[in-house]
Amino acid sequence: MPHRSMTFAKFIIEDQRRRGGPDTELTALLNDVQTACKLISVMVSRGSLQQHQTETGTNVHDEVQKPLDLAANEIVLDTCTWGGQVAGMASEELPEVFVIPPPHRKGRYLLSFDPLDGSSNIDVNVTVGTIFSILRAPEGGGDPVEADFLKPGTEQVAAGFALYGPTSMIVLTLGDGVNGFTLDPEIGNFILTHPDMKVPEECGEFAVNVSNERFWEPPVQRYVDECIRGSTGPRGKDFNMRWIASLVAEVYRILIRGGVFMYPWDTRDTSRAGRLRLLYEANPMAMILEQAGGVASTGRQRILDLVPEKLHQRVPLILGSKSEVERIVRYHEAYDKGEDKVFEAPLFNTRSLFRVPAGAHGGV
């Protein structure tokens, strides 16, 4: 049953009390974030009823921007500027750090966010969301610069994401477990409905874009091949494959049902370390997964240990149930040491997804 008396705001206040005293700025900032998520939820729910749904250009990542991307970005900036809790913000949609302008007061925190994750799915009515990460700002009260945001994920004060789907939700960690809140439209509040979320240890699902298989490294090919071979393969169990192309939806499914999500490094562009952004995608999701008993890795390094080198740095991301991610990490270790046996994927061939049986090349 929902904890109807436990609203998002009340939960934050009680969490601060458990920690020995209130942090009024953090409490106010998280409440501003939830207000922004409410506004974005309403906007997204209108779908094609919104005006001006055509594409508007590209962002700093050369990705197509939709009007809702820009609108969601403005909602977060506007909502979190006036309260005086943040000194600056970093967004997927902005090339540089957003500094809080006068006359607004600068606060003790930095906010990084992806305003509308999965926005390419809006046209087909698939769940999208907002991802956010909170760091402490440097002391002194000056204007923050890019270097101030380049902290490892272990220094995050809080992280979370919102889901805009059949119901709107916020999933949050303050460094002591993970809790989920569902928006009750009758009262306009996020209510605690999923306390102390844990990633199930046993799972039978994996999420990866198989169309990129030809670009993967052998450890990833090996893992996916073993899953696809199912009960007749070395794993001795059947798996289902999922791919939503919306990180918030993928991570939420893992929190509820377990499994693994992979957007690994591939050879399409060797100058790019990965696909997903470290500061406002990989780091907050890694903090959430670890707090829920899961693991998040590049395949070779723990995500939260990475020291960012630039604001929009990309990384490979493999996260999910502990046993599955650790298996993939072992495959990378064996591959890097040259200790893995010669790997042949019977289901993945150069020309075709499925192996052609011997003698099947002749005419009919």
Q: Is 30 annotated as a binding residue?
A: no
Is 114 annotated as a binding-site member?
yes
Rounded distance between C-alpha atoms, residue 160 and residue 248, angstroms: 10
Structure tokens at 343: 């790997």
Is 217 annotated in a binding site? The answer is: no
Q: Is 250 labelled a binding residue?
A: no
Ligand-binding annotation for 209, yes or no, is yes
Any binding-site annotation on 94?
no
**Cα–Cα distance for residue pair 195/319, rounded to 1 Å:** 21
143 marked among binding-site residues: no
- Those residues with Cβ within 8 angstroms of residue 270's Cβ, 6 or more apart along the chain or in another chain: none
Distance CA(249)–CA(162), nearest Å, equals 10
CB 171 within 8 A of CB 180: yes
The H or E element spanning position 260 is strand 260-263
> Which token pair is 277?
């952004």
Check if the beta carbon of residue 190 is closer than 8 Å to that of residue 11: no
Task: Tell me if 236 is assigned to a ligand binding site.
Answer: no
Specify the residue for token string 């993967």. 216
Strand 3-7, strand 189-194: pairing: antiparallel
Q: How far apart are the first and last CA of the chain?
A: 62
Task: Provide, for the chain, the percentages of residues in helix, strand and coil under a 3-state DSSP scheme, each rounded to the nearest 5.
Answer: 35, 25, 40
Is 201 annotated among the ligand-binding residues?
no
Within 8 A by CB and 6+ apart from 338, the residues are none
**297 vs 285: CA distance, rounded Å:** 11
Annotated binding site for substrate: 117-120, 209
Annotated binding site for Mg(2+): 92, 114, 116-117, 281
Annotated binding site: 92, 114, 116-120, 209, 281
